[in-house]
A and B are shown apart, each in its own frame.
Chain A
Amino acid sequence: MNNPATSHPFRLLLFTLLNLGCIYHAAPWPAVQAVLNAFLVLALAPEFRSILVGAFWAAMAGWVLEGTMRSYPHLGGTALGNLTTTILAAWTLAQWPTSARQAFLSRLAVLTVIHALLVHGAVRIACGPHPWGWGGWLLTLVTVPLWGTLAFKLHRPLHRR
């Protein structure tokens, strides 16, 4: 019988790795890639017990995503945006823990916007305008109820981690 306290980090790690692989293989569909990236950064990475580990995975997702695009003269902007957003999300979860689904989704929507702004800003600083434009992020925002529900199922308050 599985112990929930020990199976959660493993399941989280498994989901993160799967999501990372999906980001890599979803390169031909940038909009899907944006949704997967946002899911990893806002839903999976903040759930790690250590923020440092979550930030590492978020940065890893940014590097993988930009590596699959192969269009930047200078990579790293997405990784910085992901990293910052993950730290911010983990901090908000610690500061204002919530158990309400609606509030959780609303917070995700806000963090999605912040994430988009941060990533676009960092990418613009690093190498210029983002090649995706805003379409992928708009899709991400629209599908917040979809992947946010899944994230809420995976969410575990800090006192239960």
Chain B
Amino acid sequence: MRVRAWGWNPSGRRRWGILALWLGHVLWVFLGRNPVASWEKALGVLSRPSQIVSARLENWKYQRGQRAGNHQAAEAEIKALRQRVEYLQTTAIADIQKITEAEEAVRLLGLKRQLPLETRGARVIANLRNAPFGGLVLDQGEDIGLVPDQGVICPEGVVGRIWSVVFQQASVLPLDAFNASTAVMLARSRATGVLQGVAPGKAEIRYIGRQEAVQVGEPVFTSGLDRVFPRGLLVGYVTAVKPRDQELSLEVALAAPLDRVHLVLVLPAKPPMQIQPPSAPPPQLPVRGGK
């Protein structure tokens, strides 16, 4: 059997190998000086699908990492903000009493400026109104010259009168005490009577004649007749009018919040019956050329 020179036998395969080697070199040489760019271009075209897939995969991984980073940063920020809020809440709770007292002090200072009397400030250190014959205890006493029957007021209205005084302490008989009596008058009719305590935060006006026209909601002021309070301090408002045999029984809601009063002003002993409010400041003249 005759062996073919270029057939698939050892000799033929050798020939094909030589031809492939030679043609490969010829092709390579004849590609010229810049075959690299051509190869790169061809490889770039062939690898474009995998490049697209790889780019999308990398982009997805980057975005996922970015989202995870953002999520972690947000969680850390939320945690820090929660801690901050808790701290602020704790601080606010701790400061609320100081703020309340400061606001009360500001209002008390305003009242002190309005009153043309030599008043003294005092702090309520104990509120024993719910105890039998209890009252308010102030942190000022004989050391600053306090004596019994000095009036005690707060920005909202009259609180009561000093009942007993010791060194650095004084007890106050509030208006709603059963044994408290205060000379008052009605705002509209100017009818005078005596205020007596009946219940916490409530009092009753006695000795008002039946001929007086009294309306519910009418303000009640001090009359100054007891020489404890000057005339015109707000006591409360009429809540009910009940006629009796010879007089009217008027129920009054006290204006002063006796349950939560902390700072008070102590009026001087035996103040004048009538006090003049401080004169208003002169009006500001417009400055020439000013806006």
Chain A interface residues toward B at CB < 8 A: 50-52, 55-56, 59, 73-74, 76-77, 79-80, 83-84, 87, 122, 125-128
Contacts and interface: CB of A to CB of B under 8 A. Distances in A.
The majority secondary structure among interface residues of chain A is helix
Given A51-B14, A52-B14, A74-B35, A87 B29 contact: no
B33 A50 contact: no
B18 A87 contact: yes
Interface of B: 14, 17-18, 21-22, 25-26, 28-35
Contacts of B30: 125-126
A108 B29 CA distance: 26
30 contacts: A50-B14, A52-B14, A52-B17, A52-B18, A55-B18, A55-B21, A55-B22, A56-B21, A59-B21, A73-B33, A74-B33, A76-B25, A76-B28, A77-B29, A79-B25, A80-B22, A80-B25, A80-B28, A83-B21, A83-B22, A83-B25, A87-B18, A87-B22, A122-B29, A125-B30, A125-B32, A126-B29, A126-B30, A126-B33, A128-B33
A56 B20 CA distance: 11
B21 A126 contact: no
Nearest to B17: A52
B25 A59 contact: yes
A73 B32 CA distance: 10
Contact of A127 (B17, B21, B25, B33): B33
Interface core residue of A59, A74, A122 (most chain B CB under 10 Å): A74
A125 B18 contact: no
Given A50-B14, A126-B33, 18 more contacts: A52-B14, A52-B17, A52-B18, A55-B21, A55-B22, A74-B33, A76-B28, A76-B29, A79-B25, A80-B28, A83-B22, A83-B25, A87-B18, A87-B22, A122-B29, A125-B32, A126-B28, A126-B32
B26 A80 contact: yes
A83 B22 CA distance: 7
